[in-house]
A and B are shown apart, each in its own frame.
Chain A
Amino acid sequence: MISFLIRRLLWVIPVLFTVAIVTFFLMHRAPGGPWDREKPIARQTQAQLNARFGLNKPLWFNPDAAEAAAARGENIFQQGRAFLDSQFFNYIIGAAQGNLGPSYRQVGREVEEIIMEKFPASAKLGLVAVIFSVVVGIPLGILGALKQNTVFDYLSLFVATIGVSIPSFVIAILAILFMSRMFGVPPIRRPNEWEGLGTAYILPGIVLGLGTMAFITRLTRASMLEVKRQDYIRTAQAKGLSTRAVIMRHMLRNSLIPVVTILGPAVAALVTGSFIIESIFGVPGVGEEFVISITRRDYSMIMGTTLFYALLVALGNLTVDLSYGFLDPRIRTRH
């Protein structure tokens, strides 16, 4: 179990590294530099700014600095560090220490500072979405499976199909319009309504969680139907256990394992779905900030947020893999 855990933990590093390489490479293909302002900045000032933020260094590797270090007679580690004294590796080393560099558009602010300031709202939204999807999705799936081919079953299948197929941002728009026209819920909330855990989070949370909820419903239903046919369920019934005990102790435990496995992709969907939902509902979170930075071409902000999201997704997958190994002993031995 320990070696499985360590191997799984270490796998996050190459994944994030690759995401960083791809993002960095692509971002440097984009035209326009960090100092593009409406009023052009003097060439000298630009050179000074570049020197200050290390933007005058080579993009990937710095063989000149390595040679210089070798000429100074420094040891192999210092030479290696000098060889990697490039924009990319300095960024990576900084990122590993939690330093994502300055925002190109919000002058004087660091990317990680903005992310940390905006993260609580996103986390609260995600929490509402996860709670909604699990608390509604699992019972709906169980109900559908236990009362197969009845009204309940069709209802749960219907909700699941809608939720799986219609993209959340379309549902978000229709929900906002519906709520504001029918019940007078204001489409744009006041800024102070997002402080604390207010009612403002309910609608965006439900919309964000809808896709995951639908997926959980479908999966729970399918796996309950599978388990229902197993011999050990018949055994449990034959030895006279109450229906309640059969369902709770024998069916649920076994049928929820596949549900846990999809929570990883579900976390990814929640994380990446969140920025579009946040931007539509005006939730002051990382996602809204990300969308704004896309429209403003704030490259350092886009890059920092992408890495942050990739880290969240990787950690989400990791937790799920670990809990899966914990739930089902067969997985542990296989790895």
Chain B
Amino acid sequence: MAGPVLSFTDRGIYCAAGDFYIDPWRPVARALITHGHSDHARWGMGAYLATHQALPVMRKRLGQITAEGIAYGETRVIGGAEVSFHPAGHVPGSAQIRVTVGGQTWVVSGDYKTEADGLAEGFEPVPCHAFVSECTFGLPVFRWEPQPVTMDRIARWWAANAAEGKTSILGAYSFGKAQRLLAALPDLGPILTHGAVEEMTQVLRDQGYPLPPTIRVTPEVTGKTHPGAIVIAPPAALGSAWSARLGPSEETFVSGWMAVRGIRRRRALGTGFVLSDHADWPGLNAAIRATGAERVFVTHGYTAVFRKWLQTRGYDAGIVETRFGDEAEAEVDTAVVG
């Protein structure tokens, strides 16, 4: 009787048959990476394997690494395991990783989102026996409106600010959320970017992702030189001297956490727009159903509640402890990221 396809170690998710890790958090010889966010793609691995689309961002962030690219859907044999990468819809280049050993297929979701956003490669369900699923928003109170509805709200907010002579500043994570917004914003005025956002945007632009022209904010760029502008900046830049320099402005966050007034108020986030790169409750449930898996491991989010829910639905469900952020951290640290 063969052992499980994947096991959960203190370094990360491990495949013994292929002697590799998926998104490990400690240095290992061989790492398969789902996507370029820093809690999944960490420094210090002997060799990296990720989608061709994910590599440029990883190289930008991790510097000199030994890395190899793989196409979505391409099958590769590593030791006794067969692996392939499939779109996760989370950010450009993000993947679910499928691992088959001895006829048993397991899939690690990484972070994922089921709604197509017009930029990231769209989520594809991958049939499997066991599914390792994130559940950042694994509570039924999280239910996203369709992206066009939210983008319409953002557009109206931008237009209203512009009419009052104010610059609009959107706080959004610099890789992923920022570019998703850029790709979906209507052409209402100049789009400015914080340096951190611009660097990631340029990497993706060079890869051929369709992104509108943007202007990097420098000391000469203000609301006066670019009236009616919208600015995309990392959340940490909101309410800072950096944003004050732009002149009269309105600031807001774009995050799934904005769906809950209590969380918003606890973090003194003011107003916000609800737009997440993670699946909402219906999305998580639909994704899990679509895999046909009977075993589900949940990680990263409201794990205890979500596992109990899956058990009541007849799944063999477990919790995997990972370093992708626990529940408390998820709120504190990714509150403005998710």
| Same complex | no
Q: Which residues of A contact B (CB under 8 A)?
A: none
